[in-house]
Every structure is written in C-alpha cells, then in structure tokens.
C-alpha cells in the first residue's frame, strides 16, 4: 500500500451495527450493590436491640455513645443519647440494648449508676475510674410485661436477681448511724445488708429494708431481736470497763446485729417488721418482756420541766415496768398558757392487770374506775443516785378528784400527780451525803488495827523463839547426850563407878536447866494465846469469805497447835524429867 | 461523506470508514473482528458503553450511602469504644487541628467520589444525546476522572494500615467498620464505571444531530 493521499471518497462506509436497545446484563450490578447495601443496613438494624429510656436524677458521668449498660459486668447495651426530660426535672438516657437479652427487659428491671466508691468494707467500682461510670442493670431471665421506660434507682438494690434470702423491714429510732449498704451481722458474720433508711412521717422512727442472705435467714424467727451495732459500746460497771466493737465496717457506717435470745418463734415471711434496739442488752430485756408487749396508748400532760425524760423513759406500776414513752410532743395550751409537754405512753395491759384484747372503750372504762380510786401518773426518779427519771403509776387516794379526758385526737389523757423528783441540787447533795456516810474512817481504823495486830503477831513469834531457855534447850540436851555417850564409853572402858557419880552430877545439872526451861514454857504458851486472841479480834472484823480471813485462820491454827505442843512438852517434862534423857 | 467540521480538522476512524484498534492503534477495515496486529477485539464503538457506565455508576452510588452512614473505624481506647464515620473522622481530625490530614481524607473520601459521580453522570447523560460541547474539554474531563478516581482508595488504605498497626488490646485497638467495605466497593464500581466509558463516543455526537 503506497497510497500517500488516500482517496477518502472511495472508502467503504462502516457497517453500523444496529444500536442495541436491549438492556445489558450489566444492570445487574446496581441491583447487586443495592442488595449489598440493603444487607448491610438490615444486618445492622436487625442486630440492634430495642431502645429504652431510663430517667436519672443526674447524669453523673453518663456519656452518650460510651457509657455502657452491664449486667454482672457484661455489656448488654450502650447509651445512645442523654438529654433532659420534659420540664428539665430529670435526665433521660436513651439506651440501645443488645438484641439477645432485650426480651427479658420487663417492668421488674432495675437500673442504677455504678461509680467508684470507697467504703469501710473496701473499694468498689474501681474499674470505673478509667472507663467512666456505667449503668448496672438487673433483671431476671423470665419473660414479663415489656417496658421501655424506667426510673433509675438512687442506690443499688439490696439483692440482685438470683440472690436468695429474706427481705425484712427494720424499724429503728431516728438518729442512728445506719446508712444504706451497712452490714447486718449475726455472731460477727456479715449475713445481709441494709437498704436506704427512710424517715417516717412523724420523724421519730426510721424504716429501712434489709436483706438477709439465704442460709442465714433461717436463723430469723418472730422472736429475733435486732440491735444497733454501730460504733463502740462502752460500759462502765461493777465488773470494770467493757469496750466492744462489732466490726470495723459497722463502726464506720453503722450496722445491725441480730440474735434470737428467746426460742419458740415462728418462721419469718418477707416484709416482716423488726424493731432495732439501741443495744444488745436492751434487745435482750425487751425479748424477755415480749409477752407483755404494750398495747394501750395513753398520754399525759406535763407542765413542769423534767430533765432526763426521754423516749427511753420507762413507766412503772408498783415497781414493775408496764410500758414506755412513745413520743414527746410540746403542745400549746388552748387557753393561753405555758407550753405543755404531752407524753405519749404505751402501756402493757397484761402488766396492768387488765385482760388482753379489750376495745379502747373498755380499757378507758377500766382505767377510769382506777383513776377514780386515785390512780395518777407522776414523774419519779430511781437509780443509785436518783438520776434516772421514770414515770410512775401510783395510787394516791388523797389526791383531788380527777378523771380521764380525751384530747381532740381521741387520746386517753391520764391525770398526773405532782412529781416526786428530787431536783438536781438534792441529787448532788444526796450523792455527797451518801459518800460521806460511807464508813470510811471505821474502815481505815479497822485496817490500821489489823496491820498493827499483824506486826504484833510477828513480834510475838519472834519473842517465842528468842525467849529465855528455849534456845538453850537443844544445847543442854546435846551436852547431856554427849555426856551419856561418854558415860557409856566409860562404862564400857571400865572404871564406870568413878565416872557414874560424875555422870549423875552432870545429868542432875542438865535436869535442873531443863526444869528451869520447862517452867518458862507455860508463860510462852500464854503469850502465844494472847497473840492468837488479838488476831482473832482482827479477823472477826473481816468477811468470813475473804482470803485474808482464811489465811489468818490458818495462822491462828498454827499458833494454837504450837502453843499446845509447848504445853504438852512442859507437861511431859514435869512428869518424867528423865524422858529427855532416855527419849521416852 | 461529509468531512467533519472539527476545529482541528481531524477525522475519526469511523468517519474514514475504518476501525481503530484501542490496544495498538492500528487502523483496519471495519469488517475485521480482531486486530490483525495484536489480535485485540476490534469495535468501532463499545457496545452499550453508556449503559455500562450508568449501571456501574448506580452501583457505586448505592454503596456510597452505607459507606457514609456506617462507621468506618471502630476505635477502642481505654475501655472506651468510639465509632467514626468518614465525615465524623474528618471533623475529629479538624478538632485536633490536623488540618492537612483532615483535608486529604476529606478530598479523597468525599470530594473525589462525589465529583466523580457528578462528572461520569454528566458525561453519560450528555453523550447519550446530541450536544454542542467542546469534545476536547470532555476528553480532559474523562481523563481526569479516570486518573483521579483511584485516589479515593486512600481512605481504605488508611483504614487497612491503622487496623494492622494499632492493636494494643486494652490500650487502643482499631477495627474496620461496615463502611470500609462499602466504600471500597463503591470506589471499585466507580472506577469500573469510568473504564466502561468509551471516550470515542465524545467525537460521535458533536454537532451531528444524531448519534450514528
């Protein structure tokens, strides 16, 4: 081909293929892409669980997209958004739950925030220091009524699902040191915990839920008594000082201990209400008085100031405790007058000798008749120094006539009698008098005398030993024996006769000295007796059980027997002077 | 035969009644099936080119949606998990004053793909009917799209490298998200779309009234 300038006009026309209008297979690709996208979206959507809303008081560290919801530390969801509820009263968190557990979320589900916490019992939630707070959840593995709106708990629940035990209600006097989460102890073992204490509407008592774990809840009976184990118990008594701490945790955050001092109680169901007593001794005392539980309410009005009257003040009737003070309320007199103190009492009908199970009208009628006979309530004092204020139900027939009134609230108001309380001055004076009346001087005199007698006794014993002749007796006897031995030798050696006279002479002199010694023996014995008598008088001043007395008695016996042997020695010497020589 | 009024006074192979080999450039008579020199398939115009372009484009476009909605990276850092989408990642980078990297990611992952979609769609729609645009400019546009399209893969590479490098268990670890696969597929599809485009179509429809 050597065409330089092609003849364009002769070129063959290209055969144009008919433009195909048929859709190409390539159009499957968008559908594939669509399928992929749809798959991705569906996969993502289908794996998403439901969205629930939890209301918190404050967000306290909840971060959208980060804060997790965990059950037993396993992630089951994540916070998607945090915002305010309507009216900005609370914080609402939208939480995306995992799909596989979502079906168990029912109305019983509980949520609360876990933050790092340092308590007396250890550090908890330390992982949240790094990861931030998380929302702990709690629900059982059963299907229930579905819910998607929840209110978070302020404090962790007492028991997580799966923890078995008994839920009880504790009622304590306000002002205790009990805090939520504080331990419940028995025999020093932590067996449960206390929920959030709630102040009653009257403000005098605090109720709280408590949870006792499974094996230990069997120890609960209706006779079980709870007492406050918070802090230290310090007891100064005749036995000395007793300091008791139940547990360090209880010392710091409070705690209650229970025990069952009385047997025979029935089993306890969930929700049983127990009183928390101030101390173990109170709890035990109350336990034994359980048969006479107070069932009558009555009130008195006091217009005098009474120091020491409080909620622990007891009511006595003829010396027997019949009830206690339930409440103290200051009320203003209707007619313009001073503020009076209304004291609400709880009395035991059994202790008052009333039949049990009476209606309040019947009780009132019975009390009315007693009041007519002079039954009054008065403030009194008891105790060693009269320092404990009690309320006394007394029969004072000499009092002016009075009757039971009903106050606007329908309380039975018992009439009162003038207080029989020594004022503070007489109390202190009484104390001083009592102390000064103690026989301290007599005691001192007796003690001095005893000491003197003891030293006298010691002197006597010495004088016995140093008395004339006594120390010489052994020497004399020794000498005599030597001479006897010499005599015997001489007899053996011959020439006995010459020596016999000498021997007899020296024996005679020995006898003489023995005689003079023996004559002093009765005097010695008498002196010993005198010493013993002196001791006897000292000893008789002591209690017959004291150790000193026993010791002294022993000494006396010894002295007597010593004196007796001196006497018998003297007698035998008088009878047979040669017995000293012959040994019989 | 009318001589085309091209400004450069060029005639196409088709104008000359010939067919050119796209592989070696040999011009042959239109009735040959394959190139006598390199045996490549000879077609005056790729059959159904526009259709293919549009199909691939649509596929890429569809996948671009989940690529932007779902997280590209899942970063676990000291117990905290964080998902970041493409745009979210760019915003995070800008917040950390990494403007340069932010700009690169933004250009590679957002500007280029979106620009590509627009350009390819524009070309495809334009060339499926008569137009009076300057074919030279259209060529430049097409060349640019073909050249620059692959740079969109930067984001996928970033994810791949990060996932491979950052694996320190609790301290920090990075996992690819759903969007990474979608985005990679989207880029691949748009590249295929650009490739399916037969640039010779640009010559055919200029001021001729009807495509031949």
Note the pLDDT tens digit of each residue in A530-576: 666 666 665 565 555 555 556 666 666 776 766 676 667 667 666 66
Of A20, A36, A43, nearest to B63 by CB-CB distance is: A36
Residue A353 DSSP one-character state: T
pLDDT band at B5 (very low <50, low <70, confident <90, very high): very low
Please say if the pLDDT value at position A579 is more than 60.
no
Amino acid A566: pLDDT? 64
- Residues of chain B in contact with residue A28, where contact means CB-CB under 8 angstroms, are 55
| Cα distances (angstroms) measured from residue A152 to each of A59, A109, A129, B97 | 11, 10, 21, 39
User: Please, are residues A156 and A162 in contact by the beta-carbon 8 Å criterion?
Assistant: no
User: Please, are residues A472 and A513 in contact by the beta-carbon 8 Å criterion?
Assistant: yes
**If you measure CA to CA, which chain B residue comes closest to A32?**
B59
pLDDT band at A149 (very low <50, low <70, confident <90, very high): confident
Q: Do A65 and B82 touch (CB under 8 A)?
A: yes
Does one domain contain both B65 and B96?
yes
Does residue B12 sit within a domain? yes
Encoding tokens for residue A453?
């007698």
Encoding tokens for residue A479?
């000498």
Amino acid B196: pLDDT? 84
Does residue B105 sit within a domain? yes
Encoding tokens for residue B198?
């037969």
The set of residues, in sequence order, having a beta carbon less than 8 Å from that of A278 and lying 6+ positions away, is: A173, A227, A228, A312
Please say if the pLDDT value at position A123 is more than 80.
no
Does one domain contain both B114 and B140?
yes
Note the pLDDT tens digit of each residue in A68-80: 888 887 888 888 8
Higher per-residue confidence, A565 vs A488 = A565
pLDDT band at A252 (very low <50, low <70, confident <90, very high): low
Task: Give the integer Cα–Cα distance in Å for A86 and A84.
Answer: 6
Q: How many domains does chain B have?
A: 2
- Residues of chain A in contact with residue B182, where contact means CB-CB under 8 angstroms, are 36-37, 40
Amino acid A292: pLDDT? 57
CB pairs < 8 Å spanning A and B: 93
pTM of the model as a whole: 0.46
Residue B157 DSSP one-character state: H
Does one domain contain both B18 and B56?
no
Does residue B96 sit within a domain? yes
> Which of A29, A64, A128, A129 would you mutate first to test chain B, the one with the most B CBs within 10 A?
A29
A566 SS3 class:
helix
Note the pLDDT tens digit of each residue in B57-115: 989 999 998 888 888 888 887 667 778 888 888 898 899 888 998 898 898 888 988 99
- The residue among A396, A393, A392 whose CA lies nearest residue A373 is A396
Helix (H) or strand (E) holding B45: none
Give percent of chain A with pLDDT exceeding 70. Answer: 57
Residue whose structure tokens are 């008579």 = B29
Task: Give the integer Cα–Cα distance in Å for A266 and A352.
Answer: 27
Angle at Cα A296 formed by Cα A295 and Cα A301, nearest 5°?
A: 145
User: Please, are residues A192 and A212 in contact by the beta-carbon 8 Å criterion?
Assistant: yes
User: Please, are residues A80 and A96 in contact by the beta-carbon 8 Å criterion?
Assistant: yes
> Which of B1, B30, B44, B55 would you mutate first to test chain A, the one with the most A CBs within 10 A?
B55
Q: Which domain holds residue B17?
A: 1-44
Mean pLDDT confidence for A161-174: 80
Does one domain contain both B109 and B156?
yes
Question: Dihedral of CA A146/A152/A154/A160: which sign?
Answer: positive
CA atoms within 13 A on the CB side of A217: 19
The set of residues, in sequence order, having a beta carbon less than 8 Å from that of A73 and lying 6+ positions away, is: none
Amino acid A477: pLDDT? 60
Of A526-535, B23-32, B132-141, the one with minimum mean pLDDT is A526-535
Mean pLDDT confidence for A14-27: 63
A135 SS3 class:
strand
Amino acid A49: pLDDT? 82
Query: What is the rounded (10 degree) CA torsion for A66, A72, A73, A76?
Result: -40
Note the pLDDT tens digit of each residue in A286-312: 665 655 566 777 888 877 666 777 777
Does one domain contain both B67 and B16?
no
Considering just the CA atoms, what is the radius of gyration of chain B in Å? Answer: 22
Q: Do B47 and A130 touch (CB under 8 A)?
A: no
Domain map (residue ranges) of chain A? 47-151, 165-288, 293-433, 440-582
User: Please, are residues A347 and A391 in contact by the beta-carbon 8 Å criterion?
Assistant: no
Task: Give the integer Cα–Cα distance in Å for B93 and A316.
Answer: 82
Does residue B24 sit within a domain? yes
Environment class of residue A86 by beta-carbon count within 10 Å: exposed (0-12), middle (13-18) or buried (19+)?
Answer: exposed
- Residues of chain A in contact with residue B18, where contact means CB-CB under 8 angstroms, are 11, 14
Does residue B157 sit within a domain? yes
To the nearest 5 percent, what fractions of chain A are helix, strand and coil?
35, 30, 35
Of A395-404, A507-516, B140-149, the one with minimum mean pLDDT is A507-516
User: Please, are residues A115 and A60 in contact by the beta-carbon 8 Å criterion?
Assistant: yes
User: Please, are residues A143 and A104 in contact by the beta-carbon 8 Å criterion?
Assistant: yes
Does one domain contain both B39 and B60?
no
Amino acid B210: pLDDT? 42
Helix (H) or strand (E) holding A272: strand A272-277
Does one domain contain both B96 and B177?
yes
The set of residues, in sequence order, having a beta carbon less than 8 Å from that of A269 and lying 6+ positions away, is: A166
Note the pLDDT tens digit of each residue in A33-70: 888 888 888 887 877 788 889 888 888 888 887 788 88
Does one domain contain both B75 and B126?
yes
Task: Give the integer Cα–Cα distance in Å for B101 and A81.
Answer: 29
Of A8, A26, A34, nearest to B16 by CB-CB distance is: A8
Q: Which range, A3-7, A337-341, B173-177, has the best average confidence (pLDDT)?
A: B173-177
- Residues of chain B in contact with residue A33, where contact means CB-CB under 8 angstroms, are 58-60, 62-63, 185, 189
Amino acid B211: pLDDT? 44
Mean pLDDT confidence for A172-189: 76
User: Please, are residues A297 and A412 in contact by the beta-carbon 8 Å criterion?
Assistant: yes
Mean pLDDT confidence for A316-335: 75
Mean pLDDT score across all residues of chain A: 73
Mean pLDDT confidence for A241-264: 70
User: Please, are residues A380 and A389 in contact by the beta-carbon 8 Å criterion?
Assistant: yes
Strand A183-186 and strand A405-406: the pairing is: unpaired
Please report, for the domain that includes residue B126, its CATH number: 1.20.140
Amino acid A315: pLDDT? 84
Does residue B211 sit within a domain? no
Mean pLDDT confidence for A148-166: 79
Of A14, A66, A78, nearest to B17 by CB-CB distance is: A14
- Is A547 in CB contact (< 8 Å) with chain B? no
Does one domain contain both B146 and B61?
yes
> Which of A15, A33, A39 would you mutate first to test chain B, the one with the most B CBs within 10 A?
A33
Does residue B212 sit within a domain? no
How high is the ipTM of this complex?
0.72
Encoding tokens for residue B77?
């850092």
């Amino acid at each position: 081909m050597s065409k330089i300038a092609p003849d364009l006009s002769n070129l063959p026309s290209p055969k144009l293929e008919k433009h195909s209008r048929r859709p190409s297979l390539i159009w499957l690709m968008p559908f594939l892409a669509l399928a992929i996208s749809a798959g991705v979206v569906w996969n993502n959507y289908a794996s998403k669980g439901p969205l629930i809303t939890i209301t918190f008081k404050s967000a306290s560290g909840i971060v959208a997209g980060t804060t997790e919801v965990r059950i037993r530390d396993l992630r089951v969801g994540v916070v998607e958004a945090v915002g305010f509820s309507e009216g900005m009263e609370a914080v609402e968190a939208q939480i995306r739950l995992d799909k596989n557990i979502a079906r168990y979320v029912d109305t019983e589900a509980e949520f609360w925030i876990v933050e790092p916490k340092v308590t007396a019992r250890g550090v908890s939630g330390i992982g949240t220091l790094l990861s931030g707070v998380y929302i702990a959840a709690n629900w059982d593995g059963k299907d229930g009524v579905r819910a998607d709106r929840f209110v978070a708990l302020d404090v962790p629940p007492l028991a997580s699902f799966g923890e078995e035990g008994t839920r009880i209600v504790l009622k304590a006097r306000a002002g205790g040191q009990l805090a939520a989460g504080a331990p419940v102890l028995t025999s020093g073992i932590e067996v449960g915990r206390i929920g959030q204490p709630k102040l009653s509407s009257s403000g005098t008592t605090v109720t709280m839920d408590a949870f006792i774990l499974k094996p230990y809840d069997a120890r609960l009976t209706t006779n079980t008594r709870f007492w406050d184990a918070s802090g230290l118990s310090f007891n100064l008594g005749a036995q000395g000082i007793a300091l008791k701490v139940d547990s360090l945790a209880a010392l710091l955050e409070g705690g209650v201990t229970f025990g069952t001092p009385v047997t025979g109680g029935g089993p306890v169901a969930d929700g049983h209400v127990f009183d928390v007593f101030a101390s173990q001794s109170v709890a035990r005392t109350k336990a034994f008085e359980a048969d006479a539980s107070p069932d009558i309410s009555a009130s008195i009005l006091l217009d005098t100031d009474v120091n020491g009257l409080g909620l622990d003040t007891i009511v006595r009737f003829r010396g027997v405790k019949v009830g206690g003070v339930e409440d103290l309320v200051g009320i203003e007199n209707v007619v313009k007058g001073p503020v009076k103190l209304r004291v609400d009492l709880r009395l035991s009908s059994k202790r008052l000798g009333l039949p049990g199970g009476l209606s309040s009208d019947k009780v009132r009628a019975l009390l009315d008749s007693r009041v007519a006979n002079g039954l009054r309530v008065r403030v009194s004092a008891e105790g060693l120094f009269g320092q404990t204020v009690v309320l006394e139900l007394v029969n004072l027939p000499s009092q002016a006539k009075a009757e039971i009134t009903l106050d606007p609230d329908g309380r039975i108001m018992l009439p009162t009698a003038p207080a029989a309380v020594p004022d503070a001055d007489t109390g202190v004076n009484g104390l001083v008098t009592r102390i000064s009346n103690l026989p301290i001087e007599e005691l001192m005199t007796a003690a001095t005398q005893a000491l003197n007698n003891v030293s006298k006794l010691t002197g006597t014993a010495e004088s016995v030993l140093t008395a004339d002749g006594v120390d010489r007796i052994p020497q004399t006897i020794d000498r005599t024996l030597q001479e006897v031995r010499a005599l015997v030798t001489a007899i053996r050696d011959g020439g006995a006769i010459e020596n016999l006279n000498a021997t007899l002479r020296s024996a005679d002199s020995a006898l003489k000295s023995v005689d003079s010694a023996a004559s002093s023996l009765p005097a010695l014995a008498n002196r010993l007796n005198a010493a013993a008598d002196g001791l006897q008088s000292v000893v008789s001043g002591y209690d017959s059980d004291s150790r000193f007395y026993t010791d002294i008695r022993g000494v006396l016996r010894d002295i007597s027997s010593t004196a007796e042997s001196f006497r018998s020695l003297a007698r035998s010497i008088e009878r047979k002077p040669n017995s000293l020589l012959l040994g019989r | 035969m009318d001589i085309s009024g091209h400004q450069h006074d060029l005639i196409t192979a088709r104008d000359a009644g010939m067919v050119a080999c796209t592989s070696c450039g040999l011009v042959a008579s239109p009735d040959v099936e394959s190139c006598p020199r390199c045996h490549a398939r000879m077609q005056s115009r790729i059959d159904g080119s526009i259709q293919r372009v549009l199909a691939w484009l649509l596929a890429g476009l569809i996948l671009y949606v989940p690529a932007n909605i779902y997280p590209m990276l899942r970063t676990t850092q000291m117990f905290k998990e964080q998902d970041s989408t493409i745009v979210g990642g760019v915003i995070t980078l800008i917040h950390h004053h990494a403007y340069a990297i932010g700009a690169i990611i933004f250009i590679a992952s957002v500007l280029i793909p979106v620009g590509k979609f627009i350009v390819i769609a524009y070309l495809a729609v334009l060339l499926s009917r008569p137009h009076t645009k300057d074919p030279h400019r259209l060529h430049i546009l097409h060349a640019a799209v073909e050249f620059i399209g692959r740079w969109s893969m930067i984001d996928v590479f970033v994810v791949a490298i990060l996932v491979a490098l950052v694996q320190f268990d609790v301290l920090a670890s990075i996992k690819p998200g759903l969007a990474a696969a979608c985005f990679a597929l989207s880029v691949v599809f748009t590249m295929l779309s650009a490739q399916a485009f037969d640039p010779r179509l640009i010559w055919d429809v200029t001021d001729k009234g009807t495509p031949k």
